[in-house]
Structure 1
Amino acid sequence: MPDDETPKQRLERIKLIERLILIPLLLLAVGGFFTFGRAIVVGQSMLPTLKPGQRLTILKAWKLFSPLKAGDIVVVGVKAGQKNRDEEIVKRVIFIQNDAGTRPWPEIVKTPTGTYPTAALFSRERFSGNARSGIYILGDNINNSTDSRDFGAVFESEIIGKVWR
């Protein structure tokens, strides 16, 4: 601080320093609010990876920062059957089909509970090149999971966020 600084100049300098510190902090806080979210695991479909009641931090702005790939764990918003209410489910991405539906399926699907032939998990029309475009999801505990085997692919717009570890 210069000795010849007037009180008014000192006040202006302090205001500038506050703005340089507080505005970026405020932007980070607001950005974090819209970028991150929380979810809770319900059910046993993701055992042993995720346990029921486990709290998750999700990256809601995943399109900007981290494109989806097979193996990612996502939170998906889906209509819960005839109850006509929204539910969120946590599942693992196993395959992303292109818009034409022509991307070849992997021959096997690896999960923490084992390796499975794709043909044993999905009906023949789903993996023979006639699959609708979209993202196919599967629970890690495949014997106790409602997933793409039941309702098909989900759309990118249905994905609420990627689980962030």
Structure 2
Amino acid sequence: MEAESKKEFWSWGKSLVVAVLVAFLVRQFLFTPVIVSGESMEPTFHDNNRVVISKISSLDHFDKIVFHAPNAKEDFIKRVIGLPGDTIRMENDVLTINGKEYPEKYLDSNKEALPEGQNLTQDFEVIVPEGQLFVMGDNRTNSMDSRIFGSIEEDSVVGKVKFRFYPFTEMGNPK
């Protein structure tokens, strides 16, 4: 009986070690949870939202990403506006990428809260250097982003937001 107990104990022990190792590898190289800090992505994300990011996803315009912020110790969450080589232009709150206008529906509620005649985003034009991304927060009046610190290195990206798991009432793929 004692030999059987030892055998079962070692079996459970090996299973536990394998499970912990798999969880570590998945978190380190594939997916990881992140807590949103601050208001820069409102209304898409709010302070203390919990999201899962993928560390292996390719990036495209308007993806939400987490990256190592330049000149800061923390990571930021922003929206990719420009990819390497893109010409980004903002004029009268109309975003143009490489000569094509893109509606930013995710900004509608922020625009509605502005006083009459005021723009949410100041006018600018920039060409995104190779190997870099141009990122902006959805809360344009309260976001430290590429308009302030410039384009970010593609290598600084931690991952792409794939899923919000908290608050439970907003669980799912954030738009």
Partner residue of 1:7?
none
Moved over 3 A (4+): 22-28, 105-109
Superposition RMSD in Å: 3.2
Deviation at 1:107, TM superposition (A): 3.3
Larger radius of gyration: 1
Counterpart residue number, 1:151: 149
2:136 is the alignment partner of 1:142: no
State the 1:111 CA deviation.
4.8
State the aligned residue count: 132
SS of equivalent residue, structure 1 residue 50: coil
Q: Is the 8 A contact 1:121 1:149 kept in 2?
A: no
Counterpart in the other structure of 1:71: 62
Q: Is the 8 A contact 2:83 2:128 kept in 1?
A: no
Determine which structure has the larger helix proportion and give its number. Answer: 1
Amino acid at match of 1:151: F
CA contact (8 A) 2:70 2:152 kept: no
Give 3-state SS (helix, strand or coil) of 1:32's partner: helix
Q: Which runs of 5+ in 1 are unaligned?
A: 1-17
The TM-score with structure 2 as length reference comes to 0.61
Q: Which amino acid aligns with 1:59?
A: S
For structure 2, the residue ranges without an aligned partner over 5 or more in a row are 1-10, 88-96, 112-120, 164-175
| 1:33 correspondence with 2:27 | yes
| 2:53 aligned partner | 58
Equivalents in 1 of 2:34, 2:123: separation in Å?
28
Q: CA offsets, 1:34-74, max 9 Å, x none?
A: 222222111111111111011221112x2xxx210012110
Structure 2 equivalent of residue 43 of structure 1: 38
User: Hey, what does 1:162 align to over in structure 2?
Assistant: 160
